[in-house]
Amino acid sequence: MSRWGWTGLLLVGGGALGGVPGLLLIGAMMTLVAALTTAWSRFGLRAVRFERRLGRDRVAFGEEIPLEVSVWNAKLLPLAWLEVSDLVSDGAVVRELRLARSERPGSSVMRTLWTLGSFEEVVRHFHIVGDHRGAYRLGPARLQVADLFGRESALREDPGDLGYLVLPRTVPVRLATPEVFPLGGHRARQGLHEDPALFAGVRPYQPGDPRTRLHWRATARTGRPVSKRFEPATLRQTMIALDVQTFEGPHWEMTFDEEVLEGLMVAAASLGRHLITAGGACGLAAYGWTAQRSRLAWVPAGTGEGRLAAIVDTLARMSPFASAPFASLLGELPRRLEPATSVLILSSRNPAQHLGAEIALARSGFPVTHVALGEHADEWAAQARDAGMAALVARLPAGWRASEALDLAG
């Protein structure tokens, strides 16, 4: 028992022996408070359960995710004051609360106060706002119980956490003329490459056919090796090659222009949506960190809502720092792309450092279009044209947050 408890017992004894009711009452109150303080210190956080539940793990820019937070006190001892300090990633926005700064780098604190009776559960409802693209975490949480006088009595950390993505904003693509952007849904007159999803039968084995192409059942049945045959694909494929860097210099320098970077993300997501909704096949390639071990962020070209979701998810996770030089990415593409895949190079920087890689990519048989974005977009596009490359200028007239469309002009 604490010093206050022993003092209370002495007062109770003195009041009883001396026949002083007031002294007896004061001693009893001090003893009771000391007992409760000891109980809160030892047992306050026992049988206390803290939970968070997100309505979903992805939210579009400007929309909200319901967040349900509950605390259950599953014991007889009530809790007069319980503080929950939940760490959240910097940049997170909770509509009903103002987040405090945290001592931990890259984190803020969502602080809530609770009063719980015996065997009582309290549920509160909040809303997370998708205010900025990124991957966010909630947790760990620190639970702290105090006594009636606000003194700390018990402390516990709940290691559980949750994650959610705020997807990049997408806007319609507005073309200066229909001929500006002849990609995506347009089909080739002849097959560009064989589509492995379009099985067309078998043919005699030819030297150089990979083992994966052999049709083993037909080989066993006919007694001679035969290979699978596929129909040629006529749907144009487009790969968006995204230059994550926003400043000149070595890629490993930890500097970036947030407005330009977010504009690139909006442009990439909008171009992907434009191509896929038009019926084309689209993918994404970037040398940028996305919480994966690989330095390459790669989404193979494909069609449908699933492929669009993969592209915007990858952009949502993209860090502001490049993982390798952009020219290295362009040099790697010929080994990864299907023949005749169109490449959209989306960049906000002077193309002088990687124009040679763009030209080499085009000479390898991949139609290349340089899409320049940013303050010097006209100058960079003109420089790419002077080198013999097709080039477009992309603009978000009111910035990445407020623009109603991505304007593309030749």
8 A C-beta contact, residue 343 and residue 361: yes
What is residue 350's predicted lDDT score, i.e. its pLDDT?
Answer: 95
The stretch 134-157 carries a mean pLDDT of 80
Q: For residue 178, what are the contacts with CB-CB under 8 A and spacing of at least 6?
A: none
82 domain residue, yes or no: yes
Per residue in 158-206, pLDDT (tens digit) is: 888 899 999 999 999 998 876 666 554 444 444 444 555 556 677 888 8
Q: Are residues 181 and 159 in the same domain?
A: no
Type and span of the H or E element at 12: helix 3-18
Q: Which domain, by its residues, includes 323?
A: 173-189+234-409
Residue 222's pLDDT band, with cuts at 50, 70 and 90, is confident
The domain that contains 284 carries what CATH number? 3.40.50
What is residue 226's predicted lDDT score, i.e. its pLDDT?
Answer: 83
Q: Angle at CA 194, nearest 5°, toward 192 and 199?
A: 145
Q: Are residues 95 and 223 in the same domain?
A: no
If one counts the domains in the chain, the total is: 4
Helical segments of 19-120, H only: 21-43
Q: Are residues 262 and 351 in the same domain?
A: yes
Per residue in 78-133, pLDDT (tens digit) is: 888 899 999 999 999 999 999 999 888 889 999 999 999 999 999 999 999 999 99
Half-sphere exposure of 164 (CA within 13 A, CB side): 29
Q: Are residues 225 and 95 in the same domain?
A: no
194 domain residue, yes or no: no
What is residue 199's predicted lDDT score, i.e. its pLDDT?
Answer: 61
Domain boundary among 151, 166, 181: 166
Neighbour-count burial for 234-247, b at 16+ CB within 10 Å, e otherwise: ebbbbbbbbbbbbe
Q: Are residues 217 and 238 in the same domain?
A: no
Q: Are residues 242 and 381 in the same domain?
A: yes
What is residue 17's predicted lDDT score, i.e. its pLDDT?
Answer: 56
Q: Are residues 156 and 177 in the same domain?
A: no
Q: Are residues 280 and 349 in the same domain?
A: yes
Q: Are residues 245 and 366 in the same domain?
A: yes
196 domain residue, yes or no: no
Q: Are residues 133 and 223 in the same domain?
A: no
Q: For residue 300, what are the contacts with CB-CB under 8 A and spacing of at least 6?
A: 283
Q: Are residues 267 and 398 in the same domain?
A: yes
Per residue in 1-18, pLDDT (tens digit) is: 555 444 544 544 554 555
Average pLDDT, the chain: 85
197 domain residue, yes or no: no
Q: Are residues 364 and 226 in the same domain?
A: no
Which one-letter DSSP state was computed for residue 294? S
